A and B are shown apart, each in its own frame.
Chain A
């Protein structure tokens, strides 16, 4: 699993300074470009998204999807807990790769879990506030390349997200958040949600493997049965029924003549007197 995360990090180049088409939104009116004022949330979302890798649609998809997955089980109370316990100097201009590296950093995890939590709080805030933008990006990327919906590929991303969520949970326990009067129960719930998520990911992986077996066996079986049906149906002697019907016709003609002759005999016997 770690290999997958590493792969993501390697695949991603340094964040682009600006994302054309995301950093500024324009529309055309009578041939003149008129800037549309962005709301503070829009500004925030666009700025942060410009810090996502832009060295290809696959790494972009991976990062958007990973960020979306990270919000699993983060409800408003959990979000408040992250804000409360987190302590990291992350700004809107911090590249997202750097934020993720900070979360995965084992030194921070051990020595300064507040930094890990703070970085996660930043990502969660972004993902929840900019959910529409994230979903839009993910949908347009999958529309552009259907292979991005490949279940196996997405399971790898979900496993990476789970790994990071596990780090968050560990960090929260490390600073004793589970014992907090208000946030403690939510921290516990979050931890038990990780088990459920693990089960779901494992089941999704199992489903994927099973689907591959099913597809291979079902198409193979279907082909074999179809071929066998054709071969066996060709063996059917179609003459047999024709012969039977011709024989029936002959016998019927014979029977007709016979019954006529029998009728004549009967008539002759009765009418012939005696």
Chain B
């Protein structure tokens, strides 16, 4: 009896450590769904030659990068630490690989929602391939040409899973069955959001990686400008920047708000959202493409937010860099003039032709995106993902049931321990000092019930883990199959498109060249200077080997600081309306207004980290304090802006 009691106590103690099982719960909807009950309408004018949104997502992992990807993914797991032995298990591998399949599928939900809200041919998909760079580190590159055109915003989307098979039922992020943990970034061109390097909104774990990634991209684009080229860098996916441990950079942040956060990044928490089980079960083939379980809990609200951000953000600054890059492939001497523009008839005529070229490219790439959507979502591939989601939901449901049984058994066991304790205590109070037969029987029954309940709890826990592990281990070949076909589809789409795209571009270029008349003023490359700084490069109107007219200038100093300038210049220095961006290792800020001899001179709009834009009075580069809110700011972008 004593020995049995001892074992029971030990058993119960271990059971208490095992405690209750969690049931893989999730939020009923994303925080992005709050506050946007009314669908947002596009109010902003689309900048010339620009798209409105590009949805980027991890679509493929290059064969050479797979091991590194899995290792880095596990090493930088969001939500906890994953031991190497666990990370290398087949189950963990299944979880990591499934994030790619799920990202491919669920990114389409967002694309669909955005396409429904924005004009035709203004939303593109940009699948990325995760590859190794020259240093053997992970990076991602766009598979298609979707990012060669300017866009007001780009959205990074990935469906995340904490890669620990034993933690599936815990609170960690999970994309499995009816649960999804999206990680997202919304960014614009850095020229339109200088202090945050273009980042407008991120999921909390991505923030510093996204800002760091943006800064690297800015540096790369400035290197190109310094060398006299307009090539704009396409940043890797922020998700990849995070797992590969790329340099991070901080920026001012704020919580999610319907009011645009000027010079701050809006942060959304890492979420685990539970989609409707009913809609998951409705994902059969007859419902293909109709039921979208992500739409009512995430994509709808996110798409509305994005439209809202486009309304707040769309301006020449969002498009001018990449537009110049795109135009340069047709007309290099026109490209530098497009930053500021000109009223001259010859410029206007040529610019209209160039924009029409970009329009043709936009339509072409849009067809590619629509077909990618169709190929993945409306075909066998999509049907298989939906079958997979249903199967996963079945697994989760089973595990939730087992968890509930485990919890009931645990509760019974704990009650049993208490009852046994009471019974044992009671036996000591009899008159004889020995327990009566009835007392012994009561203690025995309580003891046995406790042991049975405890053993059941352990059995349910083991079975639950096995159910999850079995699925993850078995699904690996199906995931590989899915991934391989996905790769083939995207490759084939891109191959067909690229071959035809090159051909189309040649035809467009020929047509453009045939129809062009000469420009009275053409852009060239010459020197751009600023007092106390290294000599820089000017791409624009030059005279006597130095900047003299409109264009873009860049100066990179040896201490890591740099200056970008868009506007008018004279004698090699900023002179007249201009927009100057200052970069340093500690941060970036911008001044827009009038410049004299390279220095801010007059009322300037100042954009600094963590502060709303301010109007400040400058004299010869020196800040004299705040300007009145109605003061007029000279802008190089063909308009006068007044303070709010």
- Give the distance in Å from the alpha carbon of A123 to the alpha carbon of B343 in the complex: 35
Is A37 positioned at the interface, with any CB of B under 8 Å from its CB?
A: no
Q: Assess the B368–A251 pair: CB atoms within 8 A.
A: no
Q: Assess the A207–B356 pair: CB atoms within 8 A.
A: yes
Give chain A residues whose Cβ lies under 8 Å from the Cβ of B500. Answer: 217, 220-221, 224
Task: Choose among A225, A233, A238 the residue that contacts B493 (Cβ–Cβ < 8 A).
Answer: A225
Could you mark each residue 462-502 of chain B with 1 if its beta carbon is under 8 Å from any beta carbon of chain A, else 0?
11001100110111111001100100110011001100100
Interface residue stretch chosen among B299-307, B449-457, B614-622: B449-457
Task: Choose among B349, B353, B474, B511 the residue that contacts A248 (Cβ–Cβ < 8 A).
Answer: B474
Give chain A residues whose Cβ lies under 8 Å from the Cβ of B463. Answer: 252, 255-256, 259
Is B360 positioned at the interface, with any CB of A under 8 Å from its CB?
A: yes
Q: How many residues of A contact B (CB 8 A)?
A: 52
Is B374 positioned at the interface, with any CB of A under 8 Å from its CB?
A: yes
Given known A-B contacts A228-B496, A255-B467, A210 and B375 have beta carbons under 8 A apart: no
- Give the distance in Å from the alpha carbon of A256 to the alpha carbon of B345 in the complex: 80
Q: Which A residue sits closest to B7, measured CB to CB?
A: A270
- Give the distance in Å from the alpha carbon of A258 to the alpha carbon of B476 in the complex: 24
- Give the distance in Å from the alpha carbon of A225 to the alpha carbon of B493 in the complex: 6
Q: Assess the A225–B478 pair: CB atoms within 8 A.
A: no
- Give the distance in Å from the alpha carbon of A235 to the alpha carbon of B463 in the complex: 36
Question: Chain A nearest CB: distance from B154 CB in Å?
Answer: 23
Q: Which A residue sits closest to B378, measured CB to CB?
A: A229
Question: Chain A nearest CB: distance from B102 CB in Å?
Answer: 14
Q: Which of A210-224 contact B (CB under 8 A)?
A: 210, 213-214, 217-218, 220-222, 224
Is A21 positioned at the interface, with any CB of B under 8 Å from its CB?
A: no
Q: Assess the B380–A238 pair: CB atoms within 8 A.
A: yes
Interface residue stretch chosen among A9-17, A104-112, A153-161, A239-247: A239-247
Interface residue stretch chosen among A60-68, A79-87, A195-203: A195-203
Is B363 positioned at the interface, with any CB of A under 8 Å from its CB?
A: yes
Q: Which of B420-464 contact A (CB under 8 A)?
A: 448, 451-452, 455-456, 458-460, 462-463
Q: Assess the A213–B508 pair: CB atoms within 8 A.
A: yes
Task: Choose among A203, A207, A214, A229 the residue that contacts B379 (Cβ–Cβ < 8 A).
Answer: A229
Question: Chain A nearest CB: distance from B391 CB in Å?
Answer: 5
Give chain A residues whose Cβ lies under 8 Å from the Cβ of B488. Answer: 232, 235
Question: Chain B nearest CB: distance from A28 CB in Å?
Answer: 48
- Give the distance in Å from the alpha carbon of A244 to the alpha carbon of B482 in the complex: 13
Q: Assess the B368–A271 pair: CB atoms within 8 A.
A: no
Interface residue stretch chosen among A39-47, A141-149, A260-268: A260-268
Q: Assess the B478–A244 pair: CB atoms within 8 A.
A: yes
Question: Chain B nearest CB: distance from A27 CB in Å?
Answer: 46
Task: Choose among A202, A234, A238, A244 the residue that contacts B515 (Cβ–Cβ < 8 A).
Answer: A202
- Give the distance in Å from the alpha carbon of A223 to the alpha carbon of B352 in the complex: 30
Question: Chain A nearest CB: distance from B493 CB in Å?
Answer: 6
Q: Assess the A245–B515 pair: CB atoms within 8 A.
A: no
Most chain B beta-carbon neighbours within 10 Å: one of A199, A218, A230, A233: A233
- Give the distance in Å from the alpha carbon of A228 to the alpha carbon of B368 in the complex: 12
Is A273 positioned at the interface, with any CB of B under 8 Å from its CB?
A: yes
Q: Which A residue sits closest to B463, measured CB to CB?
A: A259
Is A237 positioned at the interface, with any CB of B under 8 Å from its CB?
A: yes
Is B87 positioned at the interface, with any CB of A under 8 Å from its CB?
A: no
Task: Choose among B11, B462, B474 the residue that contacts A245 (Cβ–Cβ < 8 A).
Answer: B474
Given known A-B contacts A210-B508, A221-B368, A236-B482, A262 and B462 have beta carbons under 8 A apart: yes
Is B333 positioned at the interface, with any CB of A under 8 Å from its CB?
A: no
- Give the distance in Å from the alpha carbon of A228 to the alpha carbon of B309 in the complex: 36
Q: Assess the B379–A225 pair: CB atoms within 8 A.
A: no
Give chain A residues whose Cβ lies under 8 Å from the Cβ of B456. Answer: 263
Q: Assess the A225–B511 pair: CB atoms within 8 A.
A: no
Task: Choose among A206, A225, A234, A256 the residue that contacts B356 (Cβ–Cβ < 8 A).
Answer: A206
Question: Chain B nearest CB: distance from A87 CB in Å?
Answer: 34
Is B279 positioned at the interface, with any CB of A under 8 Å from its CB?
A: no
Q: Which of B338-386 contact A (CB under 8 A)?
A: 345, 349, 352-353, 356, 360, 363-364, 367-368, 371, 374-375, 379-381, 384
User: 4 tightest CB-CB pairs across the interface, nearest first?
Assistant: A255-B466, A229-B375, A251-B470, A225-B371
Beyond the given pairs A224-B500, A225-B371, 16 more chain A to chain B contacts, judged by CB atoms under 8 angstroms and listed by A's residue number, are A199-B349, A213-B508, A217-B500, A228-B493, A229-B375, A232-B488, A232-B492, A233-B485, A235-B485, A241-B388, A248-B470, A259-B458, A262-B459, A262-B462, A263-B458, A267-B451
Would you list 5 pairs from A and B whose C-beta atoms are within 8 A, ordered by A residue?
Answer: A221-B368, A229-B489, A236-B384, A259-B460, A263-B455
Interface residues of A (CB under 8 A from B): 195-196, 199, 202-203, 206-207, 209-210, 213-214, 217-218, 220-222, 224-226, 228-230, 232-238, 240-241, 243-245, 247-248, 251-252, 255-256, 258-260, 262-263, 266-267, 269-271, 273-274
